[in-house]
Amino acid sequence: MDIFSIFTTSCGIGAIISHMDRVDKKILSLLQNDARMTITALADAAHVSVSACHRRLKELERSGVIEGYTAKLSPAAVGLGFQAIVFLTMRSGDAGILKDFEAAISAIPEVTDADRLFGDPDFLVRVSTTDLPAFQKLYDESLTTLPGVLKLTTTLIMKSVVESRPAPF
């Protein structure tokens, strides 16, 4: 039997991986801190052979535990030092309107994160722009014209205290 048994929770929220042992968690922890580790360095740090580490890594990728590998950029270094959080309240919960809204918000390049929430507000959207005038233009020309939006509330980010924290293993 495969060490990874995947099952979907009864409420359909997502997949849960069971039987993930301490070695799998060690591999994940190491990769969260340095996704560019060589397989040899990863195996050594996880205290397993290179072939066992490679097998485990491929299974973590195949099963969807590892969704991909990315580079973490400094927003200020790439000219996007102005960040804001925008809370959006929708006019209704109509499925068609929500689908249109989600497609429209996904098409705005300055939107770095968008989460649908339970309760009020309905969405939390994080945006990055060059400065306040660029944010105002984005707000006036894009965010206020999104389908189905009743209300927008903006909070400016003073500084990030915790961001992109690795999952605790």
Average pLDDT over residues 44-58: 97
User: What does residue 120 show for φ and ψ, rounded to 5 degrees?
Assistant: -115, 130
Decide: helix, strand or coil at residue 138: helix
Q: Find the angle CA(130)-CA(132)-CA(136) to the nearest 5 degrees.
A: 105
Task: Write the pLDDT tens digit of every residue in 77-124.
Answer: 999 999 999 999 999 989 999 999 999 999 999 999 999 999 999 999
Cα(82)–Cα(131) distance, integer angstroms: 5
Percent of the chain surpassing pLDDT 70: 89
Q: In whole numbers, what is the pLDDT of the chain averaged over residues?
A: 89
Calculate helix-pair angle for 50-62, 22-33, nearest 10 degrees.
Answer: 80
Structure tokens, 48: 């397993």
pLDDT of residue 165: 81
Specify the 3-state DSSP secondary structure of 134.
helix
pLDDT score, position 166? 83
Segment 49-62 mean pLDDT: 96
CA distances 168 to 33, 69, 80, Å, are 12, 18, 29
The per-residue pLDDT for range 6-25, each reduced to its tens digit, is: 333 333 334 555 578 999 99
Answer for the pair 89, 150: CB distance below 8 angstroms, yes or no: yes
Residue 127 near residue 142, CB atoms below 8 Å? no
- CB-CB contact of 108 with 145 (8 Å): no
Lowest mean pLDDT among 7-21, 32-46, 103-117, 134-148: 7-21
Q: Average the pLDDT over 54-61 and give the result.
A: 96
pLDDT at residue 4 tops 50: no
